[in-house]
Amino acid sequence: MAELKVRDLSEQDLAGIESSAKRAHLSREAYLRELIHHDATGHLLSSDVSDLRELTRQMAVIIEQNTKAYLDFVDAVRRLRLPNED
């Protein structure tokens, strides 16, 4: 595995990292490793998320159209009912 050394980190930033790591129940090193991994791989998922948003939008339109068609069909069937079926 590669190593990374960060120089000139402010005490304030280090305290924030320590606090975040503690809240996540991780060591500082494990917390920073997860943070770096998330940032380094985030761009790989962004196009997938955009694709899923578009598919979700398209599915919502299709569901809306199908619901309208179904309700129109039900309404047409009701109008065709014979008088003795009421």
Residue-wise pLDDT for 25-54, tens only, equals 999 999 999 999 988 887 777 777 788 899
Name the 3-class secondary structure at 25. coil
Output the pLDDT for position 85: 59
Residue with tokens 């598919």: 55
For the cut 80, the answer to whether the pLDDT of residue 82 exceeds it is no
Its pTM stands at 0.51
Give the sign of the dihedral formed by CA 69, CA 75, CA 81, CA 85. positive
The secondary structure of residue 84, as a DSSP letter, is G
